[in-house]
Amino acid sequence: MSTIASPAVTIAPERARRGQHKISFSWMVWPAVAFVVLMMVFPLVYAAWISLQDASLGTEPRFVGLDNYLNLASDPEFLNAFGVTWLLYGVALTMQLVLGTWLGIVLNGVKTARHLVRTIAITPFMMPPVVVGMLAIVILDPSVGIVNWLLGTVGVGPLLWLASPRWVLLSVALVDTWQWAPFVGLIVLGGLQSLPASVFEAAEVDGVIGWRRFVYVTLPLLGPTLLTAAVLRSVDLLRFFDLVFIATRGGPGNASTTMNMYAYQQGFEFSRFGHASAAMLTLSLVVLCTVMVFARLRRALSY
Amino acid sequence: MAPTAPRRILGCLQVAAMLVAVLAPLAWMVLSSFKVSRDVMALPPRLIFTPTLDNYRELFLRTDFLHNTWNSLVVAAGATLLGLALGAPAAFAISWHRITWPATLTLFARMAPGTLFLLPWFILFSQVDLVGTYTVLILTHGAITVPVALWTLLPYFDALPRALIESAQMDGCRPHAILMRIALPLVAPGLVVAAILCFVFTWNYFLFALALSGFDTKTAIVASFNFIGEGVTNWGALMAAATMIALPPLVLALLVQRQLVSGLSSGAVKG
């Protein structure tokens, strides 16, 4: 990620001078660039074009300018999806960063069976989302799920989890956190290991240990690392789709209909192509802006 | 300074808590796949039971799951090859000439939601009658594998000693020969990591296959998803399917565990 922020590297003058008899490899980027332009940039532009039209199944497309975007702003379903997306984003990102930081510190302290422990930490996020969704359905089932039974033995519940409009977002956030907190944990682990040991030794000499060391030394030094993790998770969380599509279908009602889910339903279930494209482009813009904000924060934080 | 005994116990407890939280759901999945349906839903859970292969038998004999798995394999392998074929030369050139824009372009294109590409793809590929073919599935998953291969390989090419390539140039080696005979063999470990990541991400991704696969090219992920949609009440079979499709990515992840962990610290590895 840091590569986005780094300015284009200028070619040293002496290398340019020596370069006359050299052959260039730059043509080697063209097949990949051509592929990305044809398969991704062109569809993006095409979707932008559709978003300016009143295009639905069976009707002649009609140019309507920004009408689709204006309609989005007054569509209560879209506004609901907008709110759901940000609420889920806030809850899940917070849980994943907090748990991830804890996991990173725990993993950093593991001395025995280090590789085994790290391998286990990798497993959740290498699993197909469909499998995670299936597991969530089975484990969180209100009547015969194991989680409610376990809670029942300590006198809690039964909770409706994915079936309750009130708890569905928290349930989805919890499942996503199970899958992705270890990912954040491994990033934090990498960050911790790149920190100079001398800082921690100095802190110890000064008597800064335990919680105070964590708050005043470790956390500030981890800032850039946590931001990297936050950016990576943000891109996925704002586009949240797989898990709700598989496990809740956006429901109950529209309680877990994220922006991406809304756009998918509008496009592929109601065939409102123009409207759906406008929603998807709005979402892309939201993702882009968020990443930009983080990139700026990261620049401000690096020393 | 050695940590005191209570601190060590606390540390062990934390590690144990993490391992249980990660592994318990997976263990539940695998155990359920070997239970008869009556035992799957039994509460309190039956930890001691007579294991059965019925669920797997049902999955492979009564449904097209074997064929679906084959489809997943073809699409994932094809998209991996596509990703490496396009991504590796690009990564080499980007690393050598320090041109950042193509890498940034792929990254920004990847930020758009997958649903955004689906509609134009569907319209365009319908017109050439390709929807439902392996070709279209491999091409569309290239949207994942090309950026992944490119970004995974960049640090490996960056680490190549420049003098090596320069001397090959002096000797009059042609560019493609330098790439094929010198650069690629030297980044072989990177190629393995990139290939595994491409394969796993394609195998796991289900939106493109959901919308663009046909009856004959349906992947294992899409088939399993349909099991949920059909309201399959045989949870044992459902968990057998989940176990089967989770297995390949987990085994592959095991193989590159070390590189994955070090790659994550630079934020380079991400689907």
Q: pLDDT tens for residues B188-224? A: 989 999 999 999 999 999 899 998 998 899 999 999 8
Please list every residue in chain B whose beta carbon sits closer than 8 Å to the beta carbon of residue A29: 89-90, 93-94, 99, 102
Is the pLDDT at A22 greater than 80, yes or no? no
Please list every residue in chain B whose beta carbon sits closer than 8 Å to the beta carbon of residue A194: 265
Q: Note the pLDDT of residue B162.
A: 86
Burial of B159 (0-12, 13-18, 19+ CB in 10 A): exposed
H, E, C per residue of chain B? CCCCHHHHHHHHHHHHHHHHHHHHHHHHHHHHHCCCHHHHCCCCCCCCCCCCCHHHHHHHHHCCHHHHHHHHHHHHHHHHHHHHHHHHHHHHHHHHHCCCHHHHHHHHHHHCCHHHHHHHHHHHHHHCCCCECHHHHHHHHHHHHHHHHHHHHHHHHHCCCHHHHHHHHHCCCCHHHHHHHHHHHHCHHHHHHHHHHHHHHHHHCCHHHHHHECCCCCCHHHHHHHHHHCCCCCHHHHHHHHHHHHHHHHHHHHHCHHHHHHHHHCCCCCC
Across the range A168-197, mean pLDDT stands at 91
Q: Is the model more confident about A11 or about A35?
A: A35
Across the range B248-266, mean pLDDT stands at 81
pLDDT band, very low/low/confident/very high, at A14 (cuts 50, 70, 90): very low
Q: How many CB atoms lie within 10 A of CB A59?
A: 11
Is the pLDDT at B88 greater than 90, yes or no? yes
CB contact B81 to A (< 8 Å): no
Q: Note the pLDDT of residue A250.
A: 82
Beta bridge partners of A62: A54
Q: Are A154 and A72 in contact (CB under 8 A)?
A: no
CB contact A119 to B (< 8 Å): yes
Tokens of B196: 């595994």
Please, what's the b/e burial string for A101-124 (b: 16 or more CB within 10 A of its CB; e: otherwise)? Answer: bbbbbbbebbeeeeeebbbbbbbb
CB contact A191 to B (< 8 Å): yes
Q: Note the pLDDT of residue A211.
A: 82
Across the range A164-169, mean pLDDT stands at 89
CA angle B130-B131-B132, nearest 5°?
110
H, E, C per residue of chain A? CHHHHCCCCCCCHHHHHHHHHCCCCHHHHHHHHHHHHHHHHHHHHHHHHHCCEECCCCCCCEECCCHHHHHHHHCHHHHHHHHHHHHHHHHHHHHHHHHHHHHHHHHHHCCCCHHHHHHHHHHHHHCCHHHHHHHHHHHCCCCCCHHHHHHHHCCCCCCCHHHCCCCHHHHHHHHHHHHHHHHHHHHHHHHHHHCCHHHHHHHHHCCCCHHHHHHHHHHHHHHHHHHHHHHHHHHHHHCCCHHHHHHCCCCCCCCCCCHHHHHHHHHHHCCCHHHHHHHHHHHHHHHHHHHHHHHHHHHHHCC
Closest partner CB to B25 (pick from A36, A139, A190) = A139
Q: Note the pLDDT of residue A198.
A: 82
Please list every residue in chain B whose beta carbon sits closer than 8 Å to the beta carbon of residue A246: 225, 228
Q: Which residues contact A55 (CB under 8 A, 6 or more apart)?
A: A61, A62, A273, A274
**Chain B residue closest in CA terms to A140:** B25
pLDDT band, very low/low/confident/very high, at A17 (cuts 50, 70, 90): very low
Q: If you average pLDDT over each of B7-21, B79-93, B176-190, B223-237, which comes out highest?
A: B79-93
Q: What is the rounded distance in angstroms from the CA atom of residue A281 to the CA atom of residue B40?
A: 44
CB contact B98 to A (< 8 Å): yes
Closest partner CB to B206 (pick from A121, A129, A239) = A129
Closest C-alpha among A107, A177, A191 to residue B15: A107
pLDDT band, very low/low/confident/very high, at B231 (cuts 50, 70, 90): low
CB contact A118 to B (< 8 Å): yes
Q: Are A62 and A53 in contact (CB under 8 A)?
A: yes
Residues across chain A = 303
Please list every residue in chain B whose beta carbon sits closer than 8 Å to the beta carbon of residue A186: 260-261, 264-265
pLDDT band, very low/low/confident/very high, at A303 (cuts 50, 70, 90): low
Closest partner CB to B121 (pick from A43, A273, A283) = A43
Is the pLDDT at A7 greater than 50, yes or no? no
Inter-helix orientation angle A219-238/A76-109, to 10°: 140
pLDDT band, very low/low/confident/very high, at B268 (cuts 50, 70, 90): very low
Q: Which residue has 């089967």 as its token pair?
A: B244
CB contact A43 to B (< 8 Å): yes
Across the range A199-208, mean pLDDT stands at 81
Q: What is the rounded distance in angstroms from the CA atom of residue A223 to the CA atom of residue A303?
A: 11
Burial of B48 (0-12, 13-18, 19+ CB in 10 A): exposed
Tokens of B37: 């349906």
Q: Note the pLDDT of residue B1.
A: 47
Q: What is the rounded distance in angstroms from the CA atom of residue B172 to the CA atom of residue B162?
A: 16
Please list every residue in chain B whose beta carbon sits closer than 8 Å to the beta carbon of residue A178: 21-22, 25
Contact B98 A8 (CB under 8 A): yes
Q: Are A181 and A95 in contact (CB under 8 A)?
A: yes
Tokens of A277: 């494209």
Which phi and psi angles does B132 have, rounded to 5°? 95, 0
- The ipTM estimated for the assembled molecules is 0.88
Across the range B130-140, mean pLDDT stands at 93
Please list every residue in chain B whose beta carbon sits closer than 8 Å to the beta carbon of residue A187: 264-265, 267
CB contact A270 to B (< 8 Å): no
Q: Note the pLDDT of residue B163.
A: 87
Q: pLDDT tens for residues B138-185? A: 999 999 999 999 989 998 998 888 888 888 888 888 888 888 888 888
Q: Note the pLDDT of residue A259.
A: 94
Q: How many CB atoms lie within 10 A of CB B111?
A: 14
